[in-house]
Amino acid sequence: MPEGLLSGEAAWAAVKAGRALPLAGGPLAFTQIELIQRDARKRAAAGFAAPDFERSLRRQPAAMRRRLEALLDRLTARRPRFAGLAMDRPRIMGIINVTPDSFSDGGQFLDAGRAIEHGRRLVEAGAGILDIGGESTRPGAEPVSAAEEIRRVVPVIEGLHRSGAVISIDTRHSSVMAAAVEAGASIINDVTALTGDPESLGVAARSRAGVVLMHMQGEPRTMQANPRYREAALDLYDYFAAQIETAETAGLPRRRIAIDPGIGFGKSVAHNQDILHRLALLQGLGCPVLLGVSRKSFIAKLSRGEDAGHRLAGSLAAALWGLRTGAQMIRVHDVAETAQAVAVWQALASP
C-alpha cells in the first residue's frame, strides 16, 4: 500500500530526486510503501521507504520477487486511456438518474427530454462522462425489469451521444448493457461487477466498452442490513483481484477495466472510512479508480444528519480526499461545484 503521498510540484521533485515513486503515472507520488500479507490466521505488515522497496526485491526468492515486481509496476505505471479519456488528470462523471425513486433526485429526470437537457448542462459545467441509470440501487430499492430500464435510458443515451458526450450506462442487466452500447454508451458501469447476470461478462467482453467493476456486499434491498468484513479495504482488494482475473480469462483485458469500491453499498460508516483511508491500496490492481461519494448517507452520519439535498460540502470534502489518495474519476451529482473545487485543489497543489 503506497503511503506518504505527495502531489503537484512536490511529487515530481521527490521522484526526480529519487525520494519517491509515481503513483499510477499521474500527478501523485508516494514516499513510503506498506507491504501487507495475510492468511487465515494472521496479518503482517512491513514498511519501506519507496526507493528502498525496489532494492529489497533483490533479496526475495524468485517467485516472490516476480509477484512484487508486478505489483510495483501496477502501482507506478501510467494508466491507459479509459473510454478514450486520458487518466492523467481528475475526470468528473455526472449522474443522470432516469428513475422515479433514486435516493437523491428520483423523478426529476424521468422524462427523456429533461434528462437530455440536464446532461448537456452537466457537460457544460465540467462533466467528462455522463452516467445514465434507469434503476435505483439505493438501499431498499426494488428491482426494475430490463425492458423498463431500456425504455427509460436508450432515448437519453441516443440524445446525448448525438451531442458528443462520453456516456456510461449504470446497469446490472446484460440486455440493458447491450442496448446501451448500441445506442452510443462507451462505458458499462455495473454495481455487481458483472456477477448479477450470467450474460453480463460476455456482453461486456464483446462490447469493446470500458467497464467499471463496483463492489457491493449483498444486493440493494438487503445490503445495509448487517454488512461484515474481516478488514474492509483488504477484502475489497482481494475481491477485485479475483474479478479482474475472471474478466481477463473471459476476454475482457485489464486495460479496459476501472474499479469502484462501492462506498455505501453493503458497508457501515466504519467500513467506508477504512476504505477511504486506504484508497491508494487499490492502485496496486493497475486499474483506474472511480469513487462515488456524492450525497451519500455516511456523510450525514459523520456530520449532523443532513438530508440528501444538504450534503454538498461533505460530498466535496470526500471527493477531494479521494483525488488526494489516488482516485482518477469521481462520480457526482453536483458537477459545477465539484469542477470548481477540483480546479482550486489542482491549482494549490501545483503552484
> Annotated catalytic sites, by residue?
296, 331
Q: How far is CA 137 from CA 99, 212, 265, 351, in A?
A: 10, 15, 9, 41
Q: Return the SS3 of 100.
A: coil
Q: How far is CA 16 from CA 13, 21, 22, 30, 267, in A?
A: 5, 9, 10, 12, 40
Paired strand residues for 33 = 2, 48
Paired strand residues for 329 = 91, 290
In order, the DSSP letters of 124-157 are HHT-SEEEEESS--STTPPP--HHHHHHHHHHHH
Q: Note whether 210 and 255 are within 8 A (CB).
A: no
- Tell me whether residue 268 is exposed, middle or buried, using C-beta atoms within 10 angstroms of its C-beta: 0 to 12, 13 to 18, 19 or more: middle
In 132-255, alpha helices (H): 146-162, 174-183, 200-207, 232-249
Q: Note whether 211 and 248 are within 8 A (CB).
A: no
Q: Residue 269 and residue 315: Cα distance in Å, rounded?
A: 14
Q: Residue 296 and residue 116: Cα distance in Å, rounded?
A: 24
Phi and psi angles of residue 350, each rounded to the nearest 5 degrees, phi first: -130, 75
Dig out the grid coordinates for 177 from the structure: 448493457
Dig out the grid coordinates for 235 from the structure: 477484502
